[in-house]
Chains A and B, each alone.
Chain A
Amino acid sequence: MPMFKPLARPLPFFALWMLITLMLGLSLQARAAEDETLAQAGALLVQKFDQRADAVALLVERDHPRTQEILRLLQDGELYYRKDDDRLFVIKSAETGAEALDLLDGSAVTIEKKRDFKKVTLNNQMRNQISQALAEIGLKAEDPKRRAAAVRELLGALNEDTVSVLRNRIGNEPVAEVRELMVLALAIQDLEKGDEATRLQAIEQLDGSLEPPVRNALTALLGSDAADQVKRQAQLALNGIDEKIRYYGMLETLYFGLSLGSVLVLAGIGLAITFGVMGVINMAHGELIMLGAYTTYVIQQLMPNHIGASILVAIPAAFMVSALVGIAIERGVIRFLYGRPLETLLATFGISLVLQQAVRSIFSPLNRSVATPDWMSGLVEINPVFSLTLSRLYIILFCLLVFVALVVVLKRTPLGLQVRAVSQNRAMARAMGVRSKWVDALTFGLGSGVAGVAGVALSQLTNVGPNLGQSYIIDSFMVVVFGGVGNLWGTLVAGLSLGVANKVLEPWAGAVLAKILVLVFIILFIQKRPRGLFPQRGRAAEG
């Protein structure tokens, strides 16, 4: 075995030195002491991680007035140092020509070469150290949300100082929610340290709380040397908590299933139009999705400073790009192949290969990075064990929106009327004056455009690369066939139910087996109902 040497250096000398300076500082002017603290911390911050951690400890220890500010700068990655003279600067964006503010005197310099400055980076230990320190400071914050976050951060991790701070503040805390959290925090503390009566009281206070530290503290209590009476109560409380967790676990599975399902619906619904309404098997459907995702990437490149808005711009743009490519495919190839669905399959498969290679040649075979805008990231926290991921929530809503829009287009607009007419009886529709070629091109464009829109959504979830389309094409076909060709409602129900089925099966079968089971189920289902969940009726179904 090789010898491993950590980067750390033992620090007894440093501790001693700190003690001495601390004592010296008492006799000096307060202001001078503050300046010196900052200078010391600054000197440490430009060194290795362990010294940086010492700097943070120093600032917290001395309770320097700028501690919170500096910790926040570190956390946000806005603190840099100049390589030449190790001076610390605050930099919002490290670009040539941008402004750098001196941390000590606030004077501004312009960045001439961005490699002159180096960020004061953090490692995980330091991030935890800083968030703990900020939480302790945050207990005194004005904003009740910050206070709540600070108490939550400290749940199960109280020390003597913080306990006394909490006990002092709990009586004056104006916001009920924060007060409850404080009660929990102290109750967990009591559970660990208290006598039998306090423990029983603490269990009562903790009963029904879903905060993970509560459950852990109760579990730990069961294994401790507490009195039987206490353990019995703890077990009861724990059972109640587990019951709730199971219930929310089911809700969570359902949510996961719906969100997976809505991805399937989005991917499949464009196919439901081209395949279902027009009878064209478009194997290039996946690549049209891919084009939508690449459009999102390009839009983000064009407006790098407005990532939030870029997604909204990308939706119509992706629709247009994919729709135009779709129309080109229809006019160039598919219109010669109507009535020969199996041949369209081959030709469009060829097109899919060409499109894949095209993006590979244009954008390189590497995946492209698409940023998630701030308004899409984050969680909607219902309670500590059940929260909805915001991006998924938006995608579910978006899916429903697209679905409704399509239904409206097909059922309520003149174009929709013509589309349905042509798909039901081409000859008759033409006889009634419908320009069937025009309708064909537009329908195909519509289906393709919706695929592009799906690509925008997928760019937020998965790789944007040349293989994006291939990974969704089979699933899309399954959804459409399972739902019943030519039926948008079928696609919606099929996609959502397949998503939920997948997620319900996953915990006990594993991800792969769940998927196989779903596929086998579809194969068997098609045997039973060869035309899917909602079969199309009438003459068009004979084709």
Chain B
Amino acid sequence: MFLMEALKKDRGGQVLLGVLLVLVIAVPLLNLLVPEGHALHVPTYTVTLMGKYLTLALLAVAVDLVWGYLGILTLGHAAFFALGGYAMGMYLMRQIGDRGVYGNPLLPDFMVFLNWDELPWFWLGFDQFWFAALMVLLVPGLLAFVFGALAFRSRVSGVYLSIITQALTYALMLAFYRNEMGFGGNNGLTDFKDILGFDLQADATRIGLFIASALALALGYLLCRVLMVSRLGRVCVAVRDAESRARFLGYRVENVKLGVFTVSAMLAGVAGALYVPQVGIINPNEFSPLNSIEVVVWVAVGGRATLYGAVVGALVINYAKSYFTAELPEIWLFALGGLFVLVTLLLPRGITGLLRRKEASA
């Protein structure tokens, strides 16, 4: 019931969920039923691409939750995304079993290669999907909880917080690049075969992953929406706009921040977990601070503190990126860079803000 309540005033959200519903139904049909070569056929390539974009959109929603509603400009959300991705990647690696290059039934290839005799303790359990799925939520959640508990208790805020979130993801990136860490170093985890017994290269599995991504985005969106229209959401906005005042009024600002930050990290983890099987590789580069900043920019371009704006921003920019890197590779960075400047200067409320302004004036 309160789902309806939460969406009642959220036109953007309604449209978003509607579109997702249409996609979930139409894309598989257009892929499987319409013959190849027909104008309406959606190739599997496009399905996977769209699935990837949807996971990135979920990451953007997670960032919007903390930046838009709490005012925490996180430059480290890529870390949570990548950790979720690694958890899923570890599961997929274990699924390879003895089909690896060296045919070792227990150890992934890169461990055989480094002369490791047994599986490190942190790889135990990842042969079970439920365990990996749990870790997808727990690892990013726990890291966010510990990090947040430290940072928010000691009232690190604003720019300082941004910089140390960046330091966090940077440190993790350096750590994961180390081969001794046991996560495959620079090559990361790759050459996955199947998930839950389904062949990852089969069209049906790809469509399944696409639908899962769409559902995850829809659920993630709803979760954020419900949180933000609740009393908690209003406290969040209060914290964002006047932290000291909210504190003086008796709200436990740290706890609010910590809770929302942790939820957001878990969402990012889920996004990463769905991203990895669709792109087929996870490597420490996903931790790169640049990636985190890019996500923030998606949110800014789409429109901050609207949630659906984050989705729009993620889709538009990633589509533009795919397009430009194919057609005009030299122009891409100029275009992207210019976009950042123009959006912050001229469209502080993003693309969707532009539409809402029209609405207000109409």
Contacts and interface: CB of A to CB of B under 8 A. Distances in A.
B164 interface: yes
B150 A354 contact: no
B277 to A, nearest CB: 29
Interface stretch (A67-75, A106-114, A197-205, A521-529): A521-529
A350 B338 contact: yes
Interface string A475-517: 0011001000100000000000000000000000000110110
A347 B175 contact: no
- Tell me the interface secondary structure of chain A in the complex: helix
Contact of A530 (B154, B166, B168, B332): B154
A347 B171 contact: no
B80 interface: no
A344 B296 CA distance: 13
A477 B178 contact: no
A472 interface: no
Contact of B344 (A346, A352, A519): A346
Contact of A522 (B150, B164, B297): B164
Contact of B340 (A346, A520, A530): A346
B151 A527 contact: yes
Contacts of B340: 346-347, 349-351, 353
Nearest to B172: A516
A337 B339 CA distance: 16
Contact of B175 (A343, A349, A516, A531): A516
A13 interface: no
Given A337-B344, A345-B162, A522 B337 contact: no
**Size bin of chain B's contact surface:** 35 or more
Contacts of B159: 275, 281, 341-342, 485
A418 interface: no
B337 A523 contact: no
Interface string B160-190: 1011101110110011011000000000000
B132 interface: no
B296 A519 contact: no
Contacts of B122: none
B167 A519 contact: yes
Given A345-B73, A474-B289, A524 B150 contact: yes
A344 B73 CA distance: 12
B341 A347 contact: yes
Interface string B335-347: 0111111011100
Contact of B348 (A343, A361, A513): A343
A229 B289 CA distance: 63
Interface string B310-345: 000000000000000000001011101111110111
Nearest to A353: B337
A526 B160 CA distance: 8
Contacts of A345: 73, 162, 293
A342 B163 CA distance: 11
B223 interface: no
Given A474-B289, A523-B171, A530-B156, A353 B163 contact: no
B164 A481 contact: yes
Interface of B: 73, 147, 150-151, 153-160, 162-164, 166-168, 170-171, 174-175, 177-178, 289-290, 293, 296-297, 300, 330, 332-334, 336-341, 343-345, 348
Interface of A: 275, 281, 283, 333, 336-337, 341-347, 349-354, 356-358, 360-361, 470, 474, 477-478, 481, 485, 512-513, 515-516, 519-520, 522-524, 526-528, 530-531, 543
16 contacts: A342-B73, A346-B297, A346-B300, A350-B336, A350-B337, A350-B344, A354-B334, A357-B333, A477-B163, A512-B175, A523-B167, A524-B150, A526-B156, A526-B160, A526-B164, A527-B151
Top 9 A-B residue pairs of the complex, sorted by shortest distance between their CB atoms: A350-B340, A353-B337, A354-B337, A357-B333, A519-B171, A350-B337, A347-B344, A350-B341, A342-B73
